[in-house]
Amino acid sequence: MQATLTPASQSLAVFDIDPAVFQKNFNRQWFALEHTLADSPLFTVERLVELAKQTAKDRPSDLYFDKGATKPGQRWNETPACDLPIEETIRRLEHEGAWIILKHAEIDPGYKDILQRAMGEVFQLTGREIEQQIKFSEVILFITSPQRLTTYHIDRECNFVAQIRGEKTIYIFDRDDKDVLPETEIERFWAVDTNSAQYKPELQSRAHSFLLQPGNGVHIPVHAPHWLQNHNDISITASLNFKFKESMEANIYRMNYLLRKFGIDPAPPGQSPTRDAIKRSVAGALIAAKRALR
């Protein structure tokens, strides 16, 4: 069932999402979706080679590529870098075991149009008030070699993942399962270590597995742990995502990390609006003071 759109925009829809499923699960639990991007010329290998070359030239910090992740719990700094130029790495993807990330693809007008349409649909399904809670939105493109594994992690962004080419299996865990994701790992994630989420092989059976194929995708809430296994073809995946303003839960987690260092067992976000407001305020002041000293 497709999101309700005006007649003028119906042909431009990006997502096909059941509104009832969306409203029940948005940023709480994962859910499957369909999309209309699989046949777009913006996602051919040739087009992505040109985008990667331009990104490497203009915004090298928005380009990342490596090779050789072999297990879900492998940390990012344990994965060897590719020793080839990015365009050559893309052309040799079938044999390189590579994982390529192109961030902020929306700087290119074609991807910007997709992002704007997608975010418009999200706003229609949630209510426009959510727009005031968003710090920025982004298109991230992932190009993955056959059989390549994407290691276990959590994200700051609220994600809508669209599979464009190839097949991969995503394993998503319940973000509220504290055996899988303790409060201490979320606190470290926001305070000091974006690779803080620890894969626990003995809990793999708690993951939900979902096959990503061209034309379908999945919504991944903030903090929902996940890892991915690519299948036998090159995979192209688009993440249409946004980041909430950090004055929300993020600063509460940062303050809880600090309190825990003083031997205090802090309450997680959501248990006391008053305490949450104080933590947000103090953490915001500390961050501002730190920036002023730089």
Rounded to an integer, the average pLDDT of 201-219 is 97
Q: How many angstroms separate the CA atoms of 187 and 178, rounded? A: 13
Domain 7-244 has CATH 2.60.120.650: yes
Q: How many angstroms separate the CA atoms of 64 and 141, rounded? A: 11
**9 pLDDT above the threshold of 70:** no
What residue segments make up the domains of the chain, in order of their start?
Answer: 7-244, 249-292
pLDDT tier for residue 156 given thresholds of 50, 70 and 90: very high
User: Whose CA is closest to 252, among 235, 231, 275?
Assistant: 275
pTM for this predicted structure: 0.87
| β-sheet with 149-153: strand ranges across | 149-153, 226-230, 168-172, 208-212
Mean pLDDT of the chain: 88
pLDDT at residue 81 in the model? 62
- Tens-digit pLDDT profile for residues 262-273: 999 999 999 999
Of 32-36, 91-95, 287-291, where does the model show the most confidence?
Answer: 32-36
**226 pLDDT above the threshold of 80:** yes
The DSSP secondary-structure symbol of 119 reads: H
pLDDT at residue 1 in the model? 34
pLDDT at residue 290 in the model? 78
